[in-house]
Amino acid sequence: MSQIDYSSSKYPIRKDLSDSHQRMLESFSRSGTWWTGAERRAIASEARAARDCGLCAERKAALSPFALDGEHAGPGELAREIVDVIHRIVTDPARLARSWYDRVMAQGLLNEERYVELVSVTVLINSLDVFARAIGIQPAPLPAPTAGSPSRERPATARTEGAWVSQIPAGAEGGEDWAALYGDRDEVPQIGRALSLVPAEVAMLDALSGPHYMNLAHVGDPSYTEPGRALDRLQMELVAARVSAINECFY
């Protein structure tokens, strides 16, 4: 099994942080809810390659992200249309639009459950590599895929609300599905609900949030900072805001 190894880093990596990265790394090659371990690993491999894709660079510079067609640079283990989705999420996320999402669904290669899980794997491997780049170490190799079948369990209460994808409705309407993910909380920020069609991916996001930033339950309290951090809340928010500005993300 491939291991996260920060021993060569000159910067001290908190155990909660390295543990969350190990959990993430292992998840990329393990069977998920809608994709097998081999497929999840292929998604992660493709997402990793997208950063150096020439077609993506050309598209990013183009007036319209849909004006250019071509072949993406990458391992290409997945269907061409799915590869395109992965590359767009990594390299040009701010120009994704509802009409694009509808076209992706109309292609029939992805349903919304598989799409949500693909989004999760894609963005998580990207973040792992961003962290490695920031502290000056090589990205961890992906583990070999493990056997197993996707559970294919869709939350019974999931429905379309304000997002493009279905979500578990808040509070009592979400019933046991909501309680299993969010306990007795009445409200959860949209970012904490975005992946709720695939609860295992919400659990992963939740596990990452605390070590990287703060537990999602505390985000609404502007005076809160996780104990033991070298950055105060203002410093963290300044960095976060700059990242979002560069990514052109309104949220």
Partner 1 sequence: MSGAQIDLSAVNDDSVDSGVAFGGELLAFTNAVMARDAAAIVKTRDAVEGRLGAEGVTDAAAVIAMFNVVDRIADATGIPIDEGFTRDMRYAIGDELGMGHLSPEERAIR
Under DSSP, the state recorded for 184 is T
Q: How far is the CB of 71 from partner 1 (least distance, A)?
A: 22
Q: How far is the CB of 149 from partner 1 (least distance, A)?
A: 25
Q: Residues 22, 139, 213, 217: which binds partner 1 (CB under 8 A)?
A: 213
What is the dihedral sign for C-alpha 73, 74, 77, 81? negative
Cα-Cα end-to-end distance for the chain: 36
Which of positions 3-32 make contact with partner 1 (CB under 8 A)? 10-14, 17
Q: Nearest distance from residue 117's CB to partner 1, in Å?
A: 12
Restricted to residues 56-75, the positions that interact with partner 1 (CB under 8 A) are none
For 159, phi then psi, to 5°, come to -155, 165
Contact call for residue 156 and partner 1 (CB under 8 A): no
182-211 positions binding partner 1, by CB under 8 A? 189-191, 193-195, 205, 208-209, 211
Q: Give the binding range for partner 1 (CB under 8 A) out of 30-38, 74-82, 125-133, 141-149.
A: 125-133
Q: Which stretch binds partner 1 (CB under 8 A): 38-46, 68-76, 146-154, 239-247?
A: 239-247
CB of 46 to partner 1, least distance (A): 15
The one among 74, 87, 89, 152 contacting partner 1 by CB under 8 A:
89
* 179 binds partner 1 per the rule CB under 8 A: no
Are 48 and 40 spatial neighbours (Cβ–Cβ below 8 Å)?
Answer: no
Q: How many residues bind partner 1 (CB under 8 A)?
A: 72
Helix, strand and coil in the chain, % to nearest 5: 50, 0, 45
For the CB of residue 234, give the shortest distance to partner 1 in the complex, in Å: 5
Q: Which of 25, 50, 119, 158 binds partner 1 (CB under 8 A)?
A: 119
What gap in Å lies between CA 84 and CA 76, rounded to an integer? Answer: 10
CB atoms within 10 A of CB 137: 18
Exposure of 228 by Cβ count < 10 A (0-12 exposed, 13-18 middle, 19+ buried)? exposed
Minimum CB separation of residue 147 from partner 1 in Å reads 28
Q: Are the beta carbons of 47 and 90 closer than 8 angstroms?
A: yes
Where helices occur in 136-232 by DSSP H, the ranges are 175-182, 190-193, 199-212
